Amino acid sequence: MATQSNLAHQDDPKPGRRDFLYIAAGAVGAVGVAGVTWPLINQLNPDASVLALASIEFDLSGIEVGQSVTIKWRGLPVFVRNRTPEEIAEAKAVPMSDLKDPATDEQRTKPGHEQWLIMIANCTHLGCIPVGDSGDYNGWACPCHGSQFDTAGRIRKGPAPTNLVLPPYEFISDTLVKIG
Amino acid sequence: MAHESSYVPGNVVEKWIDDRLPIIRWSKEHLMDYPTPKNLNYWWTFGAILAFMLGVQIVTGIILAMHYTPHVSLAFDSVEHIRRDVNGGRIIQAVHATGASMFFAAVYIHMFRGLYFGSYKAPREILWILGVLLFVLMVTTAFMGYVLPWGQMSFWAATVITNILGAIPVLGTPILELLRGGFAVDNATLNRFFSLHYLLPFIIAAVVALHIWALHVPGNNNPIGVEVKSSRETVPFHPYYTMKDLFAVIVFCIPFAWFVFFAPDILGHPDNYIMANSQVTPAHIVPEWYFLPFYAILRAIDFNILFIDSKLGGVIFFAGAILVLFFVPWLDTSKVRSGTFRPIFKWFYWLFVANFVFLTWLGSAPAEGIYVLLSKIATAYYFIYFIIVLPLLGRFETPRPLPTSITESVLAKHKAPAAAQPAAASTSH
């Protein structure tokens, strides 16, 4: 009997109750499989202990003019540079048309604290750390693939697509900055 | 080359097993009696050499995992511990580390063999595709393994290579964080790389089984590229090729042993003896030698192509250099398999080989001055060979006449010196 009804069903070109049940059961199964798979993939994402380091405070008072330090924020190296007046003037003198990723020096710093340049130290190409006080633009030069950045950390030459990334930060006082 | 099994169970126990799980029958058919063209040269021994190397890497790798600690503060020291304290660890670690280089040397020869003799052509396309897949798996495994000692080169290789995925539009950053398990390469990254580095060789072994299956259906290609016509043109795999392969493996082990015993670090970088430091990039970072050609291609794209920025462009060419290999069976339009009978192909082929070696050298050179221009030229030829030369050559080239069979080609080789002998003798009189 069962065989006969199955055969009859196959001959029938119209979608019937059984087709609906197949599709509905398959859809429910697919949702179930996806639901079980997601946690198995999601465990790869940054965990709570990594996310807990989301913001840090940093004291700038020990950094002399012309000095640069590298600190760590969320596992990433961050440049904090106390720029000299010449470096600031040099950055401001660059016409926007010379820039691959146009941004003014004001956009790269906080008003009233323009001597402080705070940026994520990884080159925007493939993540190496550029070397300071070097390159054709007196800024940073990446040893890996030859990208060069100016005194405002803007890309000037080489394969990097964008300027060095600015982390979210604010000045709590003149010498204390909160990153993140 | 499907053939009837000639296996007759020798006794009641074998008969009993054969009725339930015919594993002895299967082994005899595929590991011993498998009919193999009688004219295979030594370039055909690299398959066996690769199988041997996979075994070496799995055995030494399992041993190393017994002594290694995948943690950012302990990994570097644990590798030094293996080299200094573990009994025989100095040699076992060196076998595994230089073994990776030997493995890649063999796989490149194996692939260039296939490209010259047209081993990818019908009916062996799936065999070739599985081979390219194996190469991709090998690259991934080797990359993750290189990260494990957690030296400066390990760390920065991990940073640079994972960043390649960051070039993917929109999804790049989420994928990058998913892969690394953090905002930068860190302990989570090291742990998962260790886990996957242990897993992937077994996936490779499984794909090798498929690769050999896909080989045993059409049978081996051979140096003249003319299909086997009768059983007189084949010899059983055992003992003819088991012995030849064994001999080749032994010869292959001579340079391998030299590296292991006399120069275990010659292929590495001194910077990897400095523990990973996320704050300082070494002045000159280069990947291991076997990745240099592709690294040179990645760096060659330092200009925007329409709306594609230079970073994504480099990644597309880098991935494309490997992906193009999957399509070679359809890109090469020539009906003639073996390069031996293709006079113009030979020139382009050897230029391609030289260009590949040149790319290797360029990958190790700094990314500045003339090297950048040369990298662009060499990258261009790499792609021109596959996308322009191979499709067009099949249309315009006139191949040399093919021997009608393997037997004819083998006999012709043996007749030639025999005919020359009396001629030489008569002139001496």
State whether B265 and B316 are in the same domain. Answer: no
pTM of structure: 0.89
Letter string b/e over residues B51-73, b meaning 16 or more CB atoms within 10 A of that residue's CB: bbbbebbbebbebbeebbbbebe
**Cβ B312–A161 below 8 Å, yes or no?**
yes
Between residues B367 and B131, the one the model is more confident about: B131
State whether B371 and B295 are in the same domain. Answer: yes
- Tell me the torsion sign for CA atoms A39, A43, A46, A52: positive
Residue B48: give the domain boundaries.
34-224+232-273
Closest listed residue to residue A167, CA positions, set A131, A97, A117, A128: A117
* Chain A residues with beta carbon closer than 8 angstroms to that of B299: 145, 159
Q: Does B425 have pLDDT greater than 70?
A: no
Q: State in Å, rounded, how far the first CA of chain A is from the last one.
A: 71
3 state DSSP class of A65: coil
State whether B241 and B155 are in the same domain. Answer: yes
From A117-121, B31-35, B85-89, B425-429, the region with the lowest mean pLDDT: B425-429
Q: Which amino acid is it at B287?
A: P
The answer to whether B284 contacts chain A (CB < 8 Å) is: yes
Closest in B164, B301, B309 to A126, CB measured = B164
Residues B146, B142: Cα–Cα separation, whole Å? 6
Q: Does A11 have pLDDT greater than 90?
A: no
Residue B381, in any domain of the structure: yes
CATH number, position B253: 1.20.810.10
- Residue with tokens 């080159």, as numbered in its chain: A123
Mapping DSSP onto H, E and C, the string for chain B reads CCCCCCCCCCCHHHHHHHHHCCHHHHHHHHHHCCEEECCCCHHHHHHHHHHHHHHHHHHHHHHHHCCCCCCCCCHHHHHHHHHHCCCCHHHHHHHHHHHHHHHHHHHHHHHHHHHHHCCCCCCCHHHHHHHHHHHHHHHHHHHHHHHCCCEHHHHHHHHHHHHHHCCCCCCHHHHHHHHHCCCCCCHHHHHHHHHHHHHHHHHHHHHHHHHHHHHHCCCCCCCCCCCCCCHHHEEEHHHHHHHHHHHHHHHHHHHHHHHHHHCCCCCCCHHHHCECCCCCCCCCCCCCHHHHHHHHHHHHCCCCECCECHHHHHHHHHHHHHHHHHCHHHHCCCCCCCHHHCHHHHHHHHHHHHHHHHHHHHHHCCCCCHHHHHHHHHHHHHHHHHHHHHHHHHHHCCCCCCCCCHHHHHHHHHHHHHHHHHHHHHHHC
Torsion angle in degrees (nearest 10) through CA of B107, B113, B116, B121: -90
Closest in A70, A75, A127 to B160, CB measured = A127
Given A9, A113, A125, A145, which residue is catalytic?
A145
Closest in A47, A77, A143 to B278, CB measured = A77
State whether B188 and B53 are in the same domain. Answer: yes
State whether B307 and B237 are in the same domain. Answer: no
Instruction: Find the mean pLDDT for residues B315-322.
Output: 94
Q: What is the pLDDT of residues B163-192, one digit of tens each?
A: 888 888 888 889 999 999 988 999 999 999
Mapping DSSP onto H, E and C, the string for A103-143 reads CCHHHHCCCCCCCEEEEECCCCCCCCCCEECCCCCCCEECC
Residue B160, in any domain of the structure: yes
Residue B167, in any domain of the structure: yes
Q: Compute the mean pLDDT over every residue in chain A, rounded to the nearest whole number.
A: 87
Closest listed residue to residue A159, CA positions, set B358, B183, B164, B174: B164
Percent of chain B whose pLDDT exceeds 90: 81
- Those residues whose C-beta lies under 8 Å from the C-beta of residue B348, and which sit 6 or more positions away, are B385, B389, B393
Q: Does B228 have pLDDT greater than 70?
A: yes
Q: Does B254 have pLDDT greater than 50?
A: yes
Residues B323, A156: Cα–Cα separation, whole Å? 32
Between residues B132 and B168, the one the model is more confident about: B132
Closest in A41, A77, A126 to B279, CB measured = A77
Residues B106, B270: Cα–Cα separation, whole Å? 25
- Count of domains in chain B? 2
Q: Closest residue of A to B312, CA-based?
A: A161
Percent of chain B whose pLDDT exceeds 70: 96
Q: Closest residue of A to B277, CA-based?
A: A77
Contact criterion met (CB below 8 Å) for B366 and B285:
no
So what's the pLDDT on residue B423? 44
Q: Compute the mean pLDDT over every residue in chain B, rounded to the nearest whole number.
A: 92
Query: Measured between CA atoms, how close is B282 to chain A, in angstroms?
Result: 8
* Chain B residues with beta carbon closer than 8 angstroms to that of A49: none
So what's the pLDDT on residue A9? 54
Closest in A47, A158, A161 to B309, CB measured = A161
Closest in A70, A129, A159 to B302, CB measured = A159
State whether B266 and B310 are in the same domain. Answer: no
**Cβ B281–A144 below 8 Å, yes or no?**
yes
Q: What is the pLDDT of residues B341-376, one digit of tens each?
A: 999 999 999 999 999 999 999 999 887 789 989 999
So what's the pLDDT on residue A12? 62
Instruction: Find the mean pLDDT for residues B384-407.
Output: 95
Residue B29, in any domain of the structure: no
Q: Which of A42, A50, A123, A162 to mutate to test the interface with B (most CBs of B within 10 A)?
A: A50
So what's the pLDDT on residue B2? 47
The answer to whether B320 contacts chain A (CB < 8 Å) is: no
Between residues B201 and B308, the one the model is more confident about: B201
Q: Enter the tokens of residue B70.
A: 């995948």
* Chain A residues with beta carbon closer than 8 angstroms to that of B302: 145-146, 158-159
Task: State the angle between helix axes of B370-384 and B292-300 in degrees (0 to 180), rounded to the nearest 10.
Answer: 110
State whether B216 and B89 are in the same domain. Answer: yes
State whether B250 and B304 are in the same domain. Answer: no
Residue B8, in any domain of the structure: no
So what's the pLDDT on residue B417? 58
So what's the pLDDT on residue B192? 96
The answer to whether B188 contacts chain A (CB < 8 Å) is: yes
Q: Does A116 have pLDDT greater than 70?
A: yes
Instruction: Find the mean pLDDT for residues A56-68.
Output: 90
In this structure, how many other beta carbons lie within 10 angstroms of the beta carbon of residue B370?
8
**Cβ B279–A75 below 8 Å, yes or no?**
no
**Cβ A76–B164 below 8 Å, yes or no?**
no
Q: Does B71 have pLDDT greater than 90?
A: yes
Between residues B131 and B420, the one the model is more confident about: B131
**Residue A166 DSSP one-character state:** P
So what's the pLDDT on residue A1? 44
State whether B249 and B310 are in the same domain. Answer: no
Q: Enter the tokens of residue B231.
A: 């059983």
* Chain B residues with beta carbon closer than 8 angstroms to that of A163: none
Q: What is the pLDDT of residues A70-115, one digit of tens each?
A: 998 888 899 999 999 999 999 999 998 888 889 998 899 998 898 9
- pLDDT band at residue B428, thresholds of 50, 70 and 90? very low
Query: Measured between CA atoms, how close is B70 to chain A, in angstroms?
Result: 16
Q: Does A2 have pLDDT greater than 70?
A: no
Task: State the angle between helix axes of B242-262 and B46-65 in degrees (0 to 180), rounded to the nearest 10.
Answer: 50
Query: Measured between CA atoms, how close is A47 to chain B, in angstroms?
Result: 7
**Cβ B160–A128 below 8 Å, yes or no?**
yes
So what's the pLDDT on residue A146? 81
Beta partners for A171? A177
Closest listed residue to residue B181, CA positions, set B196, B192, B166: B192
Residues A45, B175: Cα–Cα separation, whole Å? 9
State whether B241 and B315 are in the same domain. Answer: no
Contact criterion met (CB below 8 Å) for B406 and B221:
no
Chains A–B, number of C-beta pairs less than 8 Å apart: 99
* Chain B residues with beta carbon closer than 8 angstroms to that of A143: 281-285
**Cβ A44–B183 below 8 Å, yes or no?**
no
- Where is the domain boundary, B214, B245, B273? B273
Residue B52, in any domain of the structure: yes
**Cβ A129–B281 below 8 Å, yes or no?**
yes
Q: Closest residue of A to B173, CA-based?
A: A45
A113 is catalytic: no
**Cβ A144–B285 below 8 Å, yes or no?**
yes
Residues A7, A5: Cα–Cα separation, whole Å? 5
Q: Enter the tokens of residue B233.
A: 């043109």
* Chain B residues with beta carbon closer than 8 angstroms to that of A50: 181-183, 186, 188
Query: Measured between CA atoms, how close is B295 to chain A, in angstroms?
Result: 10
Q: Enter the tokens of residue B246.
A: 């064994």
Residue B424, in any domain of the structure: no
State whether B114 and B183 are in the same domain. Answer: yes
Residue B399, in any domain of the structure: yes
State whether B98 and B52 are in the same domain. Answer: yes
- Name the burial class of residue B178, with classes exposed (0-12), middle (13-18) and buried (19+) by CB atoms within 10 angstroms of its CB: middle
